[in-house]
Amino acid sequence: MKLSFALAAVAACTAGIAWAAPVVPADVEFSEYGAVEASLTGGAGDAANGAKVMTNRGKGNCVACHAVTALSDAPFHGEVGPSLDGAADRWTEAELRGLVANAKKTFEGTIMPAFYKNDGYIRPGDAYTGKAPTEALTPLLTAEEVEDVVAYLMTLKEQ
Amino acid sequence: MTKQVKSKALIALGFAASTFALATAAQATDPTDPLVVNGDLEIVTNTAAPAHMDMIDTIQSGWEFRSPETQDLQRDDFDNPGMIFVDDAREAWATAEGSEGKSCASCHGEPEEMAGVKAVYPKWNEDAGEVRTMEMQINACRTENMGAEALKYNAGDMTNMVALLSAVSRGLPVNVAIDGPAQATWEQGKELYYTRTGQLELSCANCHEDNYDNLIRADHLSQGQINAFPAYRLKNAKLNSVHDRFKGCVRDTRAETFAPGSPEFVALELYVASRGNGLSVEGPSVRN
């Protein structure tokens, strides 16, 4: 009797959490052209934190491949991908969310890593240790961090 | 780290730092100057790509992607910190080891008599029925002919010995065979080269074929050629083997790496070496 009461309470709790929890990577809905309409968290991102994620080597490190004039305080921007200056003029928020989450849905075969995905890899490792993972992989960025980056990218306007 | 190794490393580090400072202080050589070692040993650092490569017309040694200051460290063996380790290997070459009382020199004579060997490795070994890297052949010599223990595949003394064999082949064109019995291994290596591994889903080709000459953060991406290995890296002040470099690259894709000496890395080495057919053997090189 006690046990079933406890189970019911747990079920109620997890149901509550699931309602507020971010979309898990497997459930992200991409449009035919790779856009993701719905916020992964259900809310708006924090652009200031997005800028930090973009320059942090242990997080998005977007500037490793993309130049961003507004982030020129961070040293050494790469040239593997296009400059992100004016990104918000060229892409909608949904398109940018799709590009950050999994750019291969927009550009097949692109070199750009998928930042919101956690399976389907060949020989995935445990971060940068070179060893096999001992537990389930987490995406490169959390849902909140993806939304933060999207919010920052939406500030990159030239027009 | 033993005292001896540590002091050696410190000497090497000091040597590198001082020569680096010297090279920086002096007017750096014109970066378009070709690489000539000791004033007379001409090194081919770019040439037409071998026929099996579709996407690249001109192959280039990693030397061409480095700063003029780093490049200059290879123009004179007294400036090249990698040559310290070659001297260590020269000593080991003449030292008898194992139950047979033999040294490398007992059978092979002077190291210079091995000129041309490194240029064709990895190479199919008919008796063993496998493609062998230089390291595998050195260990086969040790265990089968000298009665000595095999060296750890990527141990310092092993990499140093590979560097000696490279040094005496410098200037000769890389020319590994990719057909006949080596073909299956070569195909396996090619497949690995184009496989996107790890959580970043990056293949060798993503960076070193599609994006060489681009900057990735502060790194100037090269073609990933291995004609100049072993490479003395300023960042760790020692000679680095090809498989250790492969391991570092694969690790950086957030992947589970293969082990140095594994069949996968042997195959990859043959394939990557074949992408450099025509460049000069250049090791020991200096890289950042």
Model confidence at A134: pLDDT above 60: yes
End-to-end Cα separation, chain A, in angstroms: 66
Chain B interface disruption, residue of A66, A122, A135, most B CBs within 10 A: A122
Model confidence at A84: pLDDT above 50: yes
Model confidence at B12: pLDDT above 60: no
Neighbours of A58 (CB within 10 A): 8
Domains and CATH numbers, chain A: 19-153 (1.10.760.10)
B221 neighbors B213 (Cβ within 8 angstroms): yes
Model confidence at A2: pLDDT above 70: no
Active-site amino acid positions of B:
249
Between CA B231 and CA B226 the distance in angstroms is 9
Of A61, A63, A128, the CB nearest to B251: A128
Q: What is the pLDDT of residues A50-68, one digit of tens each?
A: 999 999 999 999 999 999 9
C-alpha closest to that of B206 among B218, B217, B193: B193
Q: What is the pLDDT of residues B261-274, one digit of tens each?
A: 999 999 999 999 99
Model confidence at A97: pLDDT above 90: yes
CA distance B258 to chain A (A): 8
Average pLDDT over residues A19-25: 84
Model confidence at B29: pLDDT above 90: no
Average pLDDT over residues B72-76: 97
Between CA B252 and CA A130 the distance in angstroms is 8
C-alpha closest to that of B107 among B133, B140, B61, B152: B140
Of A65, A122, A126, the CB nearest to B197: A122
Model confidence at A111: pLDDT above 50: yes
C-alpha closest to that of B209 among B272, B159, B151: B272
B82 neighbors B230 (Cβ within 8 angstroms): yes
CA distance B262 to chain A (A): 15
Instruction: Tell me the pLDDT of chain A averaged across its residues.
Output: 91
Identify the contact set of chain A against chain B, taking CB-CB distances under 8 A. 57, 61, 63-65, 75-80, 111, 113-114, 121-133, 137, 140
Model confidence at B22: pLDDT above 60: no
Those residues whose C-beta lies under 8 Å from the C-beta of residue B170, and which sit 6 or more positions away, are: B37, B41, B43, B280, B281, B282, B283
Average pLDDT over residues B86-114: 98
What is residue A159's predicted lDDT score, i.e. its pLDDT?
81
A132 neighbors B254 (Cβ within 8 angstroms): no
pLDDT band at B31 (very low <50, low <70, confident <90, very high): low
Q: What is the pLDDT of residues B114-126, one digit of tens each?
A: 999 999 999 999 9
pLDDT band at B33 (very low <50, low <70, confident <90, very high): confident
Q: For chain A, say whether B55 makes contact (Cβ under 8 Å).
A: no
Q: In sequence order, what E strands does chain B have? A: 36-37, 41-42, 46-48, 58-60, 123-125, 130-132, 215-216, 219-220, 231-233, 238-240, 285-287
Model confidence at A108: pLDDT above 90: yes
Token pair recorded at residue A40:
């992964």
pLDDT band at B30 (very low <50, low <70, confident <90, very high): low
B265 neighbors B59 (Cβ within 8 angstroms): no
A92-97 own/partner pairs: CB under 8 Å, 24+ apart: A92/A35, A93/A150, A93/A154, A94/A31, A94/A35, A94/A36, A94/A37, A95/A33, A95/A34, A95/A35, A96/A150, A96/A153, A96/A154, A97/A35, A97/A36, A97/A37, A97/A39, A97/A40, A97/A146, A97/A147, A97/A150
Q: Give chain A positions within 8 Å (CB) of B197.
A: 121-123
What is residue A12's predicted lDDT score, i.e. its pLDDT?
45
- Vertex B113: Cα angle to B111 and B119 (nearest 5): 90
Between CA B230 and CA B168 the distance in angstroms is 13
